[in-house]
Structure 1
């Protein structure tokens, strides 16, 4: 806890210290975040409201959530006070629901998550403002409020229905991640067995319809083949709302160079994630080794779970997990810049959807420290402004512009009730 408080204080001081006491990198980062606050690509507060509070939030204090720790779980990573400290000016709130739910239940749960997120926004009119367009984002930022946008995490949320997709847009959803952790009847997930070698015919129509109505296509969580299929079909910029670079950390949730190289042509953006196991290869390897050790112990001691746990605790003591740092995250940003270019980078922390961020970025207060690290690496103020929010603003305007150019295009139709698992 002492380390956490020290790291958080250091991150804040790096941007708030008197100008005379700041280093050149701190001044550059401070100026950039003043001109272009962070537009974060992914925050899971809505599912925290569901799992912790059952979406009963009338007495919930989102101004300060540091007291939300319990014996079973850590305190939330986000609240209004800390988002201000973290220089967050716009937030994509993830209205995620479990991919294990049957589709009809997933649709209902997603509507409930849209509802609770809107209710949270409405409760804090001085701090939060619902944003449906890029203009709304700029208006909220200019007024000193945190622009609040809704993103669906996983195509299970539309129940394999373009009609539901369109209605989710009308309710305020402005991006959808095509899959979460499970392959769908129309799209392959990065972390599940593939069925379609990417997207099937219906999956490609999902992308086309999202482009037509102006909903951003989010390719975090999908397989490399699905990324490629979506880029082949897309006529508007895509996003990766919370992903790293696979060349730096080999997790399949990260973006391979083959896809990064296509970002300039598409105009899209990769919003670098802060989840330690996605950004620190040593930590990913340690987690795999621990999983293998558990499997070995369970094979050696079948039916003796207490023995397995005791032996695993001994292994943990002898094999301390590596730490994840801000420098690790900056390495991903460096790589995305080197392959895709500075115009195709954003930030997608994944706070409140992971146990913790890296050291120095354990919660949403850590963004300024990341920008100081990038400034130390030679990123200019203009570069940092692009990464913070200007690239995301351009991408959203691009999606809106394409939708405005095809208003005479008819909606894509499928007969009601027919399966959506047809091949190409």
Structure 2
């Protein structure tokens, strides 16, 4: 693909406080070939100056010190025609070397609107000319591969392989030996009892005449009772049992299906929810997750991500720009309703009443074990608290769906890697969002 075929690079405004983070982001924009039309501290930037710069995209270094400024600049930043790219100032300040180059490639992909984030040299030929003949097989590709090293390595390690005790080679085993001979050598010896030479002895007291046959008659009234009881209640031999009336046909015309599930609360409280745990590096992953979830999701999404200063109202506004789901701030005593995404402050937890979820005032925050396992899921994104891994895995053992973020965008994968190593689902945020949609669906 030629350079003329690529979409033109966007003009970018860089909003960041003076410091290492701003310098790193400026270098990344230079590597991406972007046109920098404005570089200012958002705390001192005037709204009209940002509007006059007319950028196509705005790159913002997020930190608690600029949250009020972003709210003041929201009339311009909230424009649907403007592309917003967020990065955490703490991560940007310490990003260098290979990690800085990787982030620059992701920035190029976002500005150009494509998904190619591979380094140079990974391109594939666009046009492949057909050639006669069969394609090269894998065996042909490895025909000249040296095997001596692997054979010697396997021979040296053979003595260290632990034995399971199920197979014990006989001392007299020699090669070559057929499979039948090997199996026979492993069988324990056994002796066969000698057959009697004559007919079996007949007891003297045993009767030699065949007992008379007794007709069984009608057995519809038989029952399993003690012999003494039979003797007490048995009818005389001359009595003839009456035949039982044949059973009538079973009438299934009046059968109906009855809903055995208990009624839901009248306020629409959901029976379960998808809990998303995140931390450092989590805002970008959370944006990618929410941007993939469709409107009308048949389960609520709860987001718990600790923020310095507790500016959860600003996080609601940021996520509402990319989410098709309504993004709300969780409040105590309110029901948790499907089709919404809730941002949970540190002092809001969960409670179950009448088989429905409700927000509650809790100084310890949300407790993973409160979620009903069969109706819920937990997703661990970058920076999730590793101290909650045990509780998450315990919930998974009771039937909850659990997944962890993997990939290059996961800056702090400690907790996510722990659940993935335990056998839970893994993927990047858009992939995890697709699994959520497939599992819960969309309400009509």
Q: Same fold (TM over 0.5)?
A: no
- Which structure has more RCO (C-alpha within 8 Å, separation ≥ 6)? 1
| Pair member with larger Rg | 2
The structure carrying a bigger helix percent of its residues is: 1
TM-score normalised by the chain length of structure 2: 0.28
TM-score normalised by the chain length of structure 1: 0.29
